Chain A
Amino acid sequence: MKKKRLGMLIDLKRCIGCHTCAVACKAHNNLPNEIWWNQILTYGGKSMDTPKGTYPNLEMQFLPLACQHCEKPACVKACPTGASYQRADGTVLMDYDICVGCSLCIMACPYKNVRQYNEKTPQYVLDFPVGNSNVNEQQKGTVSKCVFCYNLLDQGESPACVDLCPGKARFFGDLADKDSEVYKLLEKRKSMQLLTERGTKPSVYFLI
């Protein structure tokens, strides 16, 4: 039986840059004020939501970016304590209880800001957690990142960003399963990945 490999597809033709996925992620995972696991970048002008070029030849693309849950994660290899580890289904997770906060995973990761360091004691806008009660609590002095909402996966659900995207731009499933929606979409549509030359084999594809 082929090994399971969970992955995500993001349809760039559907993404409208609304940041719902980023907020959904933040709320579900009870992320502190400064921490955002999901970032929506703008490929285009120098600032967010601005195109490049001169009218009428303008170009702009929203690019949602979070942990790519690589098949050969550089962060797992670099981590001296094993706090950064990979599950059998391919998801790359963090154990905050053994993380020493050396940030070597941040240095090893090819992708910008997908891993974030909790510099301060976690503070929240609201005085109560708004997300699920079974997410791991953030700790000062440790690194955190997108965990594919593994607590939801274990209940047979999809990550929060996938469920709540209003443009239905995100798809999630087993990339190794030929009957899965993600596998079929990859066969049918043109796709791209980011920084493939770094050799980490990301599990996130962008449909173009």
Chain B
Amino acid sequence: MLRKEWPLILNTLLAQAAAGIFLFLAVNHLFIVNGVQHAAALQIYQAGLVLVGPIIALAMLLSLFHLGKPFRAYRAMTNLPSSWLSWEIFFSSGFFVLWLACFWLDQSGISNPYLIGLTGLAGIFNVISMANIYTTTGRPGWAGIGTYISFLGSMFIFGSAGAALLLAQDAGMNPSALALASKQSWLVLFILVVELVLLYRSLSRLKASLQETSMDQLVSSSEMDEEELRKYGTISICGWTLSLAGVGLLVYIVGIFPAPNILLLFAVLFILCGEFLGRSAFFSLGMGKQ
């Protein structure tokens, strides 16, 4: 299953992680303006900034493994007028370049809010472009708002987890940052609930389509049988449950900071496994019978 798609699974997750972590840390940094706490938020932002670039670079590198001709990859940005894949490559490259600029300026002690904002936007547009690649294929498992919620949801989930991890390193326990992290975690929890509703709708729609027996069904590239739908649907739900457990744990951890590191480790592990399972099921449900 998904022998050819594993680079895409990792590429999408890592790119969303990079965008999410940058977004959450940038928000903390730009919106916590109280003197001492601002300095602490800046420290957390700087620590996280080091992670973001390598993560997005790794995401882009992994995507090359999906190509049959990776040395021709430079051509993949040539159809910007119509191809969302070209836009995704544009925004991911742009996000990396802008991150580099933020990182370099930060090393010189300069923090430009406009540049940080632009970088955050590039990350978000990268995630939206990714979602557009799949929704515009028209495949029943991918079409609709569910894909956007899933991709943006992953971005927020990883961002929340990344921010919490970095906060946990802050011995000073910045109250404003903690309050913001708490709000962010609750927001992510809400997104997960919305994700479940949309996942249920998508799976129901797919199940209903299996009842049709027509020539259209026979020739459709997203043909699937009941057993496969049951299998990937179960994997989706398991993935969602693990992510929910991870985010739920995060909400609890942020509420009781300082928390034992083992709890944070479990939260991150649940999230990583949950998101990986969910994304694998996403690709399987869209690709149909392999």
Q: Which residues of A contact B (CB under 8 A)?
A: 41, 43, 61, 63, 65, 74, 76-82, 98-104, 106-113, 117-119, 139-143, 192, 194-195, 198-199
Closest A residue, CB atoms, query B139: A107
Q: Which residues of B contact A (CB under 8 A)?
A: 4, 66-70, 72-73, 75-79, 82-86, 89, 133-134, 136-139, 215-216, 218-221, 223, 286-288
Please determine whether B79 and A82 come into contact, CB atoms closer than 8 angstroms: yes
Given contacts A107-B137, A194-B215, contact A102 B78 (CB under 8 A): no
The minimal Cβ–Cβ distance linking B174 to chain A, given in whole angstroms, is: 43
Please determine whether A101 and B67 come into contact, CB atoms closer than 8 angstroms: yes
Question: Please, how many angstroms separate the alpha-carbon atoms of A49 and B241 in the complex?
Answer: 44
Question: Please, how many angstroms separate the alpha-carbon atoms of A117 and B79 in the complex?
Answer: 21
Please determine whether A112 and B220 come into contact, CB atoms closer than 8 angstroms: yes
The minimal Cβ–Cβ distance linking A159 to chain B, given in whole angstroms, is: 19
Please determine whether A142 and B68 come into contact, CB atoms closer than 8 angstroms: yes
The minimal Cβ–Cβ distance linking A66 to chain B, given in whole angstroms, is: 11
Question: Please, how many angstroms separate the alpha-carbon atoms of A99 and B78 in the complex?
Answer: 12
Question: Please, how many angstroms separate the alpha-carbon atoms of A192 and B85 in the complex?
Answer: 33
Q: Which residues on the B side are within 8 Å of A112 (C-beta)?
A: 218-221, 223, 288
- Across the interface, B216 reaches (CB within 8 A) one of A74, A78, A81, A194, namely A194
Q: Which residues on the A side are within 8 Å of B223 (C-beta)?
A: 112
Please determine whether B83 and A78 come into contact, CB atoms closer than 8 angstroms: yes
Question: Please, how many angstroms separate the alpha-carbon atoms of A195 and B138 in the complex?
Answer: 11
Q: Which residues on the A side are within 8 Å of B76 (C-beta)?
A: 80-81, 100, 102
Question: Please, how many angstroms separate the alpha-carbon atoms of A195 and B209 in the complex?
Answer: 13
The total of interchain contacts (Cβ-Cβ below 8 angstroms) comes to: 113
Q: Which residues on the A side are within 8 Å of B66 (C-beta)?
A: 102-103
Please determine whether A81 and B79 come into contact, CB atoms closer than 8 angstroms: yes
Closest A residue, CB atoms, query B75: A81
What are the 4 tightest A-B residue pairs by CB atom distance, in nearest-first order? A101-B68, A141-B68, A80-B85, A80-B76
What would be 28 A-B contacts, judged by CB atoms less than 8 Å apart? A41-B218, A74-B136, A77-B82, A78-B82, A78-B84, A78-B137, A79-B79, A80-B76, A80-B79, A81-B75, A81-B78, A99-B68, A99-B69, A100-B67, A100-B70, A100-B72, A100-B76, A102-B68, A102-B85, A103-B66, A106-B221, A109-B221, A110-B220, A111-B221, A118-B68, A119-B68, A194-B215, A195-B219
Q: Which residues on the B side are within 8 Å of A101 (C-beta)?
A: 67-69
Question: Please, how many angstroms separate the alpha-carbon atoms of A43 and B213 in the complex?
Answer: 9
Question: Please, how many angstroms separate the alpha-carbon atoms of A148 and B221 in the complex?
Answer: 21
Please determine whether B78 and A140 come into contact, CB atoms closer than 8 angstroms: no
Question: Please, how many angstroms separate the alpha-carbon atoms of A61 and B213 in the complex?
Answer: 13
The minimal Cβ–Cβ distance linking B246 to chain A, given in whole angstroms, is: 29
The minimal Cβ–Cβ distance linking A95 to chain B, given in whole angstroms, is: 11
Please determine whether B221 and A110 come into contact, CB atoms closer than 8 angstroms: yes
Closest B residue, CB atoms, query A141: B68
Question: Please, how many angstroms separate the alpha-carbon atoms of A141 and B66 in the complex?
Answer: 10
Contacts A80-B78, A100-B72, A195-B216 aside, 4 further interface pairs with beta carbons under 8 A come to: A80-B77, A81-B78, A111-B219, A139-B69
Closest B residue, CB atoms, query A68: B219
The minimal Cβ–Cβ distance linking B81 to chain A, given in whole angstroms, is: 9
Please determine whether B72 and A41 come into contact, CB atoms closer than 8 angstroms: no
Question: Please, how many angstroms separate the alpha-carbon atoms of A106 and B220 in the complex?
Answer: 12
The minimal Cβ–Cβ distance linking A79 to chain B, given in whole angstroms, is: 6
Please determine whether B69 and A63 come into contact, CB atoms closer than 8 angstroms: no
The minimal Cβ–Cβ distance linking A141 to chain B, given in whole angstroms, is: 3
Please determine whether A140 and B68 come into contact, CB atoms closer than 8 angstroms: yes
The minimal Cβ–Cβ distance linking B221 to chain A, given in whole angstroms, is: 5
Please determine whether B286 and A107 come into contact, CB atoms closer than 8 angstroms: yes
Q: Which residues on the A side are within 8 Å of B77 (C-beta)?
A: 80
Question: Please, how many angstroms separate the alpha-carbon atoms of A131 and B66 in the complex?
Answer: 31
Closest B residue, CB atoms, query A78: B83
The minimal Cβ–Cβ distance linking A119 to chain B, given in whole angstroms, is: 8
Closest B residue, CB atoms, query A65: B219
Please determine whether A98 and B85 come into contact, CB atoms closer than 8 angstroms: no
Q: Which residues on the B side are within 8 Å of A117 (C-beta)?
A: 4, 68
Please determine whether A80 and B89 come into contact, CB atoms closer than 8 angstroms: yes
Closest A residue, CB atoms, query B88: A80
